[in-house]
Amino acid sequence: MNEKDDFLRQIPIFSQLSDDKLGQISKLGTRKNFNKDSVILFEHETGSAFFVVILGKVKLSRVSDDGKEVILTILNKSDFFGEMSILDGTSRSATVTAMEDSELLIIQRNEFINLLHSDPDISIALLIELARKLRAADIKLKSLSLKDAEGKVATVILQLADDIGKIKQGAMEIERLPFQHDLASMAGTSRETISRTLHTFAKKGLVELEGSRLRILNYEKFKELFN
Ligand code: CMP
């Protein structure tokens, strides 16, 4: 394995592997750049590859019955996607779009399936990640169906904190909060509701907003209030 493949070590399903194995995986895959706003894969098409985000940020979305975009989640460096349709042989469950210029590692289906056969540690790690995603989807489904505007917005903030937040000086910091129209698509609400609710949270002293940075001042209390 050489230095440019270090990113593989950060990926949960590959983190336990030897340098040799990581080197092999890097050779199996192709690195490809995607410009901001380009579509990487479309919902409903047949899946033929597995993807790892080396650099950048992508959004997973679906179109609801009334034609609105619903963002399922946003993935960052070291996250992966595309495993579902190559495992169950059905179509892609979501559309994936680059939110910034991004570089991805692409592993073709056959190669990925061979990896799972050859290394039970990768298969188990993949199952653990799938369980984590299912839990997150369950929590989101429950909270979005039950809660008022504050609950919906808080759920999305907590999801982002979990995905990309960092604890800094005792507070949970989300350094680059997505645009308000994207937050609205994630929360199943309008951009105006996002704006109003974030200001309400700020007035209540729950969060601080500074440009695109959001700080949850007392993360434990925030979770208790909204979880
Ligand atoms: P696949 O269906 O092949 O293509 C779209 C990918 O988006 C899917 O595999 C998963 O990797 C990912 N995905 C779909 N739904 C979710 C979700 N709710 N949370 C996280 N990732 C998802």
Q: Round to whole Å and give the CA distance between 225 and 142.
A: 15
Give the pLDDT of residue 4: 67
- State yes or no: pLDDT of 187 exceeds 90: no
Instruction: Kindly give the distance from the C-alpha atom of residue 176 to the centroid of ligand 1, in angstroms, as a whole number.
Output: 22
Is the CB of residue 102 below 6 angstroms from any atom belonging to ligand 1? no
Arithmetic mean of pLDDT, 65-84: 88
Is the CB of residue 83 below 6 angstroms from any atom belonging to ligand 1? yes
Which residue carries 């495992």 as its tokens?
87
Q: Round to whole Å and give the CA distance between 76 and 55.
A: 7
Give the pLDDT of residue 2: 65
Backbone angles phi, psi at 119, to 5 degrees: -135, 100
Minimal-distance CA residue to ligand 1 atom 11 = 81
Least confident of 8-12, 50-54, 95-99, 201-205: 8-12
Q: Which atom of ligand 1 is nearest to the CA of 136?
A: 19
Give the pLDDT of residue 44: 92
Q: Which atom of ligand 1 is nearest to the CA of 95?
A: 5
Tell how strand 102-108 and strand 49-55 pair up: antiparallel
Arithmetic mean of pLDDT, 133-148: 81
Instruction: Kindly give the distance from the C-alpha atom of residue 61 to the centroid of ligand 1, in angstroms, as a whole number.
Output: 9
Arithmetic mean of pLDDT, 165-188: 89
Q: Which atom of ligand 1 is nearest to the CA of 60?
A: 7
pLDDT bracket for residue 1 (50, 70, 90): low
Is the CB of residue 52 below 6 angstroms from any atom belonging to ligand 1? no
More confident residue, 103 or 121: 103
Give the pLDDT of residue 121: 87
Arithmetic mean of pLDDT, 195-212: 94
- State yes or no: pLDDT of 206 exceeds 90: yes
